[in-house]
Structures are given as C-alpha cells and as structure tokens.
Structure 1
C-alpha cells in the first residue's frame, strides 16, 4: 500500500514539474512586432537579458545594380566599354573608291540607360579634322542614330543604350545595351596618291533615368 502511495506521489510530482516547465516555456515573451522590431517582455517571469541582432550593409556604390539608389552625381552611374581606336581604309574590291572600317563596340554595363554623343571630331593635335581624300565618311550602327556624318561634322547624339538589366529602365528605350559601329564612305576621286589620316573622336556620355530622361546633376 505504501509503495503504491509513493508511486502515486512520484507521478503527481512529475506531472506538476512538467506543468511548471511547460508554463515557464510558454510564458517567454519575445514578440515579433512585424515591423522589423522584436519586443522582449520579462513581465511574465522570464529573465531574458540579451539578444542577437543581425548586422548587414554595403560599402561603395555598385553602378551595375539597377536597385542601387541614385547618387547625387549622375555620372557615378556611367559604366561603358568603348573602343580604343577606329580604323578605316579604301577597299581594293571597289578599286579603292569605297571606304570601310571597323569602329569597335559600345557596351553599356550600367544599371541605367546611357546616352552617347559625339562632342567633337578633330585631328590628333585638337585642330580641324583632316578630311583630305575623303568625299564622305559616316559612322554607322547607332541604335537611335543610324548614321553620323563625320565629313560634315556637327556634334550630336550617336546612340542611346539600354541597361543590360531589364529593371534598369521602366520600358525598353533603345532595345539594345550594346552596338557594333562601322565606318563607311567614299574616296575623293581627285586624290592622286595615298594619304594617311590621324583624327580622333571625342565621345560624351550621359546617364539617363528609368524613363530615358537625363538625370539631374
């Protein structure tokens, strides 16, 4: 009989202990407020006195990421590949009357669209461009400007390139993020012998907003 009573008391004690532990665990008040904060409330008998908070961040500016915030200086967005040289020559197949040349590629890597303009076309010393022996010379391949007259030069927009990321613009602006350029034209028939030209193009770049409009500096 005594043994049975002891067993019953032991079971009762275990039940009370389990209930107490369960209540203690249930009374823990760590509340997720759903707004990026937690509330630790020890008024129900808990004694939490520490917490771990995640720390994350970014240093520097990633101009290839369309989600990056717009910087104060819109030029910070510029990230574009350009050729180091554009080369042309008259072709033997045309009896040296036609001009053809590889002008390289423009590749926009920015998280925003970029407008590319030709600001100037000059000789190597910065003076008036040498056009001796040239009847016509055109830079072609631009997305928004199919051809650009270098013989009768006037500054202007060469092309607009989309961001390579679809989210870089609200809708496609130019439809391409890169373009291959070419030079073409005609030789002046009055040219009597070979003439070497040494000119240079001054390119200018402008970052655009997601609607294709210039970002305010």
Structure 2
C-alpha cells in the first residue's frame, strides 16, 4: 500500500507498506495518518487477490482519565487508605475552606443538592446538578466540641485536622478519586471548597463524600452549590 501524508503529495517508493501473503490470510498494513493521507493498493504483477473484507482501525489506545488515580491499600486488620503518586488529586488547604466560607459570597450561591448521610458516607444525586459550566462548591458545616485539654479550655480555641474524600459510591463500595486536607475549628463552623477543581468532578460519576477526622464531629451538613 502506497500512502501520502502531505498536501498535494504524490505516491513514491519512500512511503509504502508491504505485506507478503501466500494463500489465504490477513494482511495488516500500518501507515501514518494525517488529514492529507491517501492510500493506493498495488498488487504484484501475475498475482490474483480476492479481498473479502476491509477494516480500518488505529493501533493506538488513547490514555484515559484516571491514569493517575490513587492506589487503595489494605492492611492485615482490614483498614484501608489511598495513596497518590506525585501528589496528584490531593489538596492541602488547611484553613482556606474556613476563610472562604467567612469571606466569599459564593456561600450564598444556588443550592443544587443536599448530601444525605448513609453508611458513613454523604451521598447526592448527580442529576440534581443541572449545570457545571461555572464549576461547583461544596459547602460543609460541622460542629467540633474540642477536648478542653492542654490549657485549651475555651469553646473556640482548638482545631483538628480532617480529610474530605470525594469519590464514587456504588453497590456499597466507595472509590476515592481525590481529597482535601483541611483544618476544622472548634464550635459550629462553615467550610467552603471549590469541589470542581479536580477533573474527576467532570469525567466520572462522583456522587459521594467521606470525612475522616481525628476527633468526633456533630451535626455534619453538606451541600453542592452552583459555581461562579
């Protein structure tokens, strides 16, 4: 098979793919393809060829979203956690969600979905998110009562770390896709995260959030808001 790759190019011996077949068989010709590719099949003189079918396909498999997904680890006690290569899909926000909730007007954006607690996860219906054009926020409210130790006896002088894990909950199994590490303050407080910053929000069926915290949280409430 002769082929071309440039505009107005003629067929030459420099661009040819050759396959030898004796009897019945399949001839696989591999040629580079551009918008200007044309093909011409030459059959050797004196040969008889009966073409019963012709298939054109690409030997290349495109990389899919998720090639940099996290790896789930399980220890002997059944505890499981996820690790991320090169820090992909893990965001260390510390106090930022608290600052955004206190100062960003997005906290009053239109509510698309209120997450429902079930089996330790907070679930929502993706179909309720009518628009992702401007992204989305996760509004997270929780109460942390503190421990009143180490001379921290006031009602608002303690903080605690937490991981907000976003993923897919299906058939009783939660598949983590990305996570935010945040700092929660003592008392009842709001936290605002732009949950659409990770591409999994758009390409997967993300429908669940899991909260891992070193302490006990009360009255946890989550909502997905319209972006801006």
When normalised by structure 2's length, the TM-score is: 0.26
Whichever of the two has the greater Rg, that structure is 1
Q: From the two aligned structures, give the one with the greater helix fraction.
A: 1
Q: From the two aligned structures, give the one with the greater strand fraction.
A: 2
